[in-house]
Amino acid sequence: MAYSATADEHHDEHHDGPAPGLMRWVTTTNHKDLGTLYLWFSLIMFFVGGSMALVIRAELFQPGLSLVQPEFFNQMTTMHALIMIFGAVMPAFVGLANWLLPMMIGAPDMALPRVNNWGFWILPFAFTLLLSTLFMPGGAPASGWTMYPPLVLQTGEAFPFLILSIHLMGISSIMGAINIVATILNMRAPGMDLMKMPLFVWSWLITAYLLIAVMPVLAGAVTMLLTDKYFGTAFFTAAGGGDPVLFQHIFWFFGHPEVYILILPAFGIVSHIIPAFCRKPLFGKASMVYAMAAIAFLSFIVWAHHMFTVGMPLAAALFFMFATMLIAVPTGVKIFNWLATMWRSAMTFETPMLFALGFVFMFTIGGLSGLMLAIVPADFQYHDSYFVVAHFHYVLVPGSVFAIMAGVYFWLPKWTGVMYNETLGKLHFWLTTIFVNLTFFPMHFIGLAGMPRRIPDYALQFTTFNQMATIGAIGFGLSQLIFLYIVIQSARRAGEKASDRVWEGTEGLEFELSSPPAYHTFTTPPTVR
Amino acid sequence: MSTNRLKFAGAGLLAAFALLLSGSAMASGLPPLNMPEGVTEISREVYGLHMMMLKICAVIGALVFVIMLTSIILHRKSRGVTPAKWHESTSVEIAWTVIPFAILVAVAIPATATLVKMEDTGGAEMTIKITGYQWNWHYDYLDHDIEFFSNLDADSTQAYQLGSDLSPLDVEHYLLNVDEPMVIPTGTRVRLLLTAGDVIHAWWVPEFALKKDAIPGFINEMWVNVEKPGIYRGQCAELCGRGHGFMPVVVVAKEPADFEAWVAERTGTE
């Protein structure tokens, strides 16, 4: 693709800098500022959720309760999941979208800037509400992030706060998603037709539709929980004629597309980074788009594979098994396309590429264990065991989180105008990779050997692998301090000046801009040829 | 140059971890790594499916990793290669869509066959109703006049407490032992009916490859035919509150004659 910049933003953009002082961040409607806010918020939540994971792992270091009571342990598993999913991974992707989508499609800003501001500023309130439950009588929610009734209805005073914070997160996500769809469909530069759009834009267009489709479903489910608890309804209470399994169906109708909300933008990011450091165009771009669309469609008809053990009719179990297995096909296409991109390319291995390669490597492991989980008879053994914990952490940590970090390393010099410390970046990658595998790989073994998930204490034969996992988790957590240091250094503009192209093999409109870009970019749209 | 130093550092770390791993594995003997084969026809089929999937996934994974590593080693800029220009091939794309699909069809067939067998709950020779409570199991023998609760044993209960002076290491079958196990006869098709009295629980014995949710207001069904006498242990598998980790499942399978004796003893003394 070729571009011509019709406006030279270097001397055309003297007006409208950021407002001075702290109010800049409260009142801003600038996509770059909001992207920054989202990313910082996500990083803070990553450390908050991570410290909860360390409480979990510390308790599981040896058999017997050694640090916390079981009820607090359950609060930690619940809060860790809610914070990592809704507070760390999703806002990180929205932050990347905010920074990048307008620059990638040649738009001056997001289509709905005020909605954008509101969407972000809901989040600190939502998570303050959620975290405040830790200090309430009865403690934080302890029913697992899946909130299955009747157990969740035993939550104490935290219950309405949990529901309200989930509503707020949902509103924030829906507003972000509407904004992204509106931006992509209306604000592309002339000549940028849909199939010319970069893959990160494509991945977010699909993700945004998933969000709009399923967040209201979650809102409905948790509202029914609320009325069951306080207003005498019996949607999910068997004693009142309700159906506890109905909740699981509704929840996972949200939950499975949610899983892809957490991974599709990662596919997009990796599809930018691999070609850049391979110095070779992405293999099969069109099929990458079709694969993502196919995955998104399938995500709506596989939800019950999260609940094969509830006891469903044979025909239903077979349907959900076959549909789930089908997802392996488009996912395989994506992996193979990345491999084909690497084949006969000229690779270099800067930090973003290392994280992207780590992503492909370890996401493959997570994807393959996912295929094993689809096989219903075997799933009866895997279900709710540590095998599942290993599986979804492989797709979420070396999957989504690695892709986010790859993206940050890739575009951070563009955003700040300075290169980060490459040696430290590589050290961060290697330590993270070693520890992430030390943490999560042994979980496959203890799961297969019969250790259920969400237990605060375990039988003696599981000790060795739990100890490995705990050592890995502590190492993983400490390694992220390197990342924090690197990001802070870049934010302080400490480092060598980055070029406009940043990396040798980059392509795309965002790399036509200066590093750092002006506060307002593409006020006159570029023409894409 | 700093990159080279980093590579050495990385290699050193890897070696250190390999040592650490092998060291800790040797210290305690190798703990269980894999799914048990189990003691029923169904559990062996499930194990077979699991191993088949594991091998297929291992081969596919190895293929992906080998191709990737080959590219990483050969197709790197530092070797002075020039990147190829191609970026599309419809025939290749069709191939790697169709071949995985064919593999999936091939594994779906045995998986379906096993599932059909597992779900066929007819022909039961005796029935036990299992009810999950916070936090114990209740067993009700519908064909005999026997019912009882099954709780975590006293030693485990004492040892798991925060600050307990009884170490879990000194408790036999820590957290996997109960005061009164469920007893079933071998070589008999036993139907298990599952429900719950408060929240959702799940009854799981890995040696039987059976796991099903016990749900208030629902009755779930499964069946087991154990071939060998023995004691089989499992746990609740669905988060059910603070005692979720402390409500094990223990099943004792006895020869039919021994089982009859157990029934006589139970009903005689009650």
Minimal Cβ distance to B218: which of A63, A245, A380: A245
Q: Which residue's entry shows tokens 């009854």?
A: B203
- What torsion, rounded to 10 degrees, do the Cα atoms B191, B197, B198, B203 define? -20
Q: How far is A138 from chain B (nearest CA, A)?
A: 12
pLDDT of A338 higher than 60: yes
* pLDDT tens-digit series, residues B221-266: 999 999 999 999 999 999 999 999 999 999 999 999 999 999 999 9
* pLDDT score of B20 more than 60: no
**DSSP readout, A261-292?**
HTTHHHHHHHHHHHHHHHTSPPTTHHHHHHHH
At B151, is the pLDDT very low, low, confident or very high (cuts 50, 70, 90)?
very high
The dihedral through the CA atoms of A300, A301, A305, A308 has a sign that is positive
Q: At residue B17, does pLDDT exceed 90?
A: no
Residue of B nearest to A309 (CA): B212
Taking the CA of residue A40 and the nearest CA in chain B, the distance in Å comes to 29
Q: Where are the domains of chain A?
A: 3-10+25-518
CA-closest candidate to residue B208, choices B229, B194, B223, B188? B223
Q: What are the angstrom distances between the C-alpha of A9 and each of A4, A521, B43?
A: 12, 7, 68
Evaluate the CA torsion angle A442, A448, A449, A453 in order and state its sign: positive
Pick the residue from chain A with its C-alpha nearest to B216.
Answer: A238
Is A63's CB within 8 Å of B175's CB?
yes
pLDDT digits 0-9 by tens, A374-386: 999 999 999 999 9
Segment (H or E) for A402: helix A402-416
More confident residue, B103 or B3: B103
Give the other-Cβ count within 10 Å of B85's Cβ: 8
Round to whole Å and give the CA distance between B137 and B178.
10
Four-point Cα dihedral A240, A243, A247, A252, nearest 10:
180
Residues of A with active-site annotation: 80, 109, 145, 172-173, 256, 258, 260, 271, 305-306, 331, 334, 453
Confidence of residue B126 (pLDDT cuts 50, 70, 90): very high
Query: Interface pTM (ipTM) of the complex?
Result: 0.91
* Residues in A touching B67 (Cβ below 8 Å): 339, 343
Which of B215, B218, B250 best probes binding to A when mutated, by most A CB atoms within 10 angstroms?
B215
- Residue from A154, A149, A135 nearest A79 by CA: A135
Residue A498, C-beta contacts closer than 8 angstroms, at least 6 positions apart: A413, A414, A416, A417, A418, A419, A515
pLDDT level of residue A15 (50, 70, 90 thresholds): low
Mean of pLDDT values over A3-14: 48
What is the 3-class SS of chain B, one letter each residue? CHHHHHHHHHHHHHHHHHHHHHHHHHHHCCCCCCCCCCCCHHHHHHHHHHHHHHHHHHHHHHHHHHHHHHHHHHCEHHHCCCCCCCCCCHHHHHHHHHHHHHHHHHHHHHHHHHHHHHHCCCCCCEEEEEEEECCEEEEEECCCCEEEEECECHHHHHHHCCCCCCCHHHCCCCCCCECCCEEEECCCCEEEEEEECCCCEEEEEHHHCEEEEECCCCCEEEEECCCCCEEEEEEECCCCCCCHHHCCEEEEEECHHHHHHHHHHHHHHC
Contact B68 A360 (CB under 8 A): yes
pLDDT of A311 higher than 60: yes
CB contact under 8 A, A459 and B240: no
CB-nearest to A434 from B14, B92, B213 is B14
DSSP string, A200-259: HHHHHHHHHHHHHHHHHHHHHHHHHHHHHHHS---SS-GGGT--HHHHHHHHHHHHHHHH
Pairwise CA distance, residues A159 & A143, whole Å:
10
The pair phi, psi for residue A496, each rounded to 5°, is -70, 150
- Mean pLDDT, residues B178-186 taken together: 97
**Rounded CA separation A169/A163 (Å):** 10
| pLDDT, position A307 | 96
Query: Looking at the DSSP assignment, which residues form a beta bridge with residue B193?
Result: B129, B221
| pLDDT score for B269 | 56
In this complex, do A309 and B116 lie within 8 Å of one another by their Cβ atoms? no
Domain A3-10+25-518: give its CATH architecture: Up-down Bundle (1.20)
Residue range A233-251: mean pLDDT, rounded: 95
- For A86-139, how does the pLDDT look when each residue is reduced to its tens digit (9 = 90+)? 999 999 999 999 999 999 999 999 999 999 999 999 999 999 999 999 999 999
Q: Do A321 and B85 touch (CB under 8 A)?
A: no
Alpha-carbon gap, residue B13 to A432, rounded angstroms = 12
A372·B50 Cβ contact <8 A: yes
Asked if B75 lies within 8 A of A345 by C-beta distance, the reply is yes
Nearest to B87 among A71, A282, A468 (CB): A282
The pair phi, psi for residue A358, each rounded to 5°, is: -60, -40
| Residue A18, pLDDT score | 82
Give the pLDDT score at B268.
81
User: Could you tell me the domains of chain B?
Assistant: 35-72+92-120 (no CATH), 126-269 (2.60.40.420)
Residue A357 with chain B: CB contacts under 8 Å: 68, 72
Tokens of A443: 């979980």
pLDDT tens digits for range A473-524: 999 999 999 999 999 999 999 999 999 999 999 999 999 999 999 999 999 9
d(CA A200, CA A510): 12
Contacts of B109 (CB under 8 A, 6+ apart): none
Percent of chain B with pLDDT over 70: 89
- Number of other residues whose CB lies within 10 A of the CB of residue A514: 16
User: Quick one: closest CA in B to A341, which residue?
Assistant: B87
**Cα A387 to Cα A446: distance, rounded to the nearest angstrom:** 7
Using alpha carbons only, what angle is made at residue B28 by residues A438 and B169, rounded to the nearest 5 degrees?
Answer: 105
Q: Which band of pLDDT confidence, cut at 50, 70 and 90, is reported for residue A4?
A: low
Does position A1 have pLDDT exceeding 70, yes or no?
no
Average pLDDT value over all residues in chain A: 95
Cross-chain Cβ contact A384/B211 below 8 Å: yes
